[in-house]
Structure 1
Amino acid sequence: MTRSCRRAFSAPRHRRRICLSADPPLTAVSSQSCLPAIFGRFRNVTAASFNQRVGAALAPLANAEKAVAMRAYMRDQFDYLGVPTPQRRAAVLPILRELKGVDAARLIELAEGLWTLPQREYQYVAVDLLARHWKALTLEQLPALLSLAQRKSWWDSVDGLAGVVGDVVRADRKHDPACQIHMDRALGHENLWVRRIAMLHQLGWRDETDVPRLFRHARELAPETDFFIRKAIGWALRDYAWHDPQAIRQFLDEMRDVLSPLSVREAGKNLSRLG
């Protein structure tokens, strides 16, 4: 797998976007112009028509050779069109922009519609859609977001959804300081991907991080043996280290015999250069 292929699969999140190669950006997709101009006002947008338009934007960019490599990288779990992220985003950006002001119910409906399509790029578009318009969402949509995380689940889609969930929870916390209890409950969910979201939901919060909760979540998940949970623990701790490296050093010293070596290694990656 080339370096560009490895870069192809970073998490699809507005702070950590999937980058599916370094191919040059494409020009506007001409096939979009022949579709009905019903998206100027989203009140008439249905999941089926939205899927059709997104599909028409991506189809000309499909690359069978890249699709094979992308599928192999994801352990043959998903089919791909073979559209790298820069091109995918350029093609669908006008469509996503036209949904400015979309209501939460319609936003979830469109994301769920994309989730039903077989090629993985459509789930990436769904995550980008949610990330772009997350301000339309509230905690009322949290069950729907966590439901998406449990379908066609893998780290690429789940980490993108974690970013959306984190933004929604962070915004709601300004009005309801106790709202993070939903993440406490998610930490005990039977689905490991929901637990991963709970561990990652404070990524990027920096000085707004609920540090006791971050450490408590890490401790509660520490006994788990799953790679993706252990990796998430380390990632969440490493992210907060950018804001307070000494707090992470102290936590790792206290928990070194409790956390897995993978979690400790991931958490401490940047500590040597953070002073």
Structure 2
Amino acid sequence: MTLEDALTVLRALAEPGRAEGMAAYHKQSREVIGISNPALNELTTDWRRSLSVPERVALAEALWQTDIFEARIAAAKLLTQARLRPDTEAWALIQSWLPDLDSWAIADHAMMAGQKRLMADLSRMDTIEAWTTSDSFWTRRAALTVTLPLAKKNNPNAAEAQARARVLTWAEGYVTDPEWFIQKAVAWWLRDLSKHDAEATRRFLAGPGQGLKPFAQREAAKHL
């Protein structure tokens, strides 16, 4: 499938009047087509079924480069699959998107694709750790959003438990970060962890978590 074909299909899914509302809600200056989430999900599911892995990676790269809101989300959705073989090129592409992250919706979808690649190969934690010291808060935030599956594990194996503990050390370094999106990301991670390891969450909040802003502490403790 060519990029032109893909964009034609995407534009055909536009709903009258939706683009303006989406652009305002997501605070977008880039083009927004105006596609509903169910329609975009159905389309990208069909693309994943019909395209080979190399074709999906190539299309995802091309869609991302258009800088169209739904095209970037579609790019991420093309790579959001647990079993992706081979996945080296997909992981490299996802990493290449980091400098472009500037919107929570696009960033979250990009890191949902990244989550699958991380859980397929936990050695990628070494790469992700470098994100925690980035000048961009979007990249620092991505280190937590991409590792969220670790917080949601009921019975993590030894490697997953070690990786989970490692993320908590990153979160310790984030607690005094004044950026709202970083505070929210730490709270989000801890909130999800609390459903599966309440004691670890309580220890964090009683220790380094005291440095979090009050709203983040409340959010982190929501399910305790």
Name the TM-score class by shorter chain. 0.7 to 0.9
**Could you say which structure has the higher helix fraction?**
2
From the superposition, tell whether residues 140 and 216 of structure 1 become closer, same or farther in structure 2 (CA, over 3 Å): farther
8 Å CA contact 1:221, 1:229 repeated in 2: yes
Query: What secondary structure is seen at the aligned counterpart in 1 of 2:121?
Result: helix
Q: What residue ranges of structure 2 are gaps of 5+ in the alignment?
A: none
Q: Quick one: which amino acid aligns to residue 78 of structure 2?
A: L
1:4 aligns to what? none
Deviations 1:69-105 (A, max 9, x none): 0001012433211110101222343222111x413xx
8 Å CA contact 1:112, 1:148 repeated in 2: no
TM-score, normalization by structure 2 = 0.85
Q: 1:197 aligns with which of 142, 146, 154?
A: 142
Deviations 1:122-148 (A, max 9, x none): 111111101037623546654531221
Q: 1:165 aligns with which of 99, 106, 114?
A: 114
What does residue range 179-198 of structure 1 map to in structure 2 within 5 Å?
A: 179-198=124-143
8 Å CA contact 1:149, 1:157 repeated in 2: no
Cα RMSD for the two superposed structures:
2.2
Question: Post-superposition shift, 1:181?
Answer: 1.7
From the superposition, tell whether residues 255 and 85 of structure 1 become closer, same or farther in structure 2 (CA, over 3 Å): same
> Is 1:102 matched up with 2:53?
yes
- Counterparts of 2:9 and 2:40 in 1: how far apart (Å)? 8
1:214 aligns to what? 167
> Is 1:90 matched up with 2:62?
no
What does residue range 1-275 of structure 1 map to in structure 2 within 5 Å?
A: 45=1, 49=2, 51-99=3-51, 101-103=52-54, 106-132=55-81, 135-136=84-85, 138=87, 142-151=91-100, 153-173=102-122, 176=123, 179-205=124-150, 206=153, 207=156, 208-209=160-161, 210-271=163-224
8 Å CA contact 1:139, 1:172 repeated in 2: no
Q: What residue ranges of structure 1 are gaps of 5+ in the alignment?
A: 1-44
8 Å CA contact 1:114, 1:125 repeated in 2: yes
8 Å CA contact 1:231, 1:263 repeated in 2: yes
- Counterparts of 2:13 and 2:87 in 1: how far apart (Å)? 34
From the superposition, tell whether residues 249 and 131 of structure 1 become closer, same or farther in structure 2 (CA, over 3 Å): same
TM-score, normalization by structure 1 = 0.71
Identity among equivalent positions (%) equals 26
The answer to which structure, 1 or 2, has the higher relative contact order (CA under 8 A, 6+ apart) is: 1
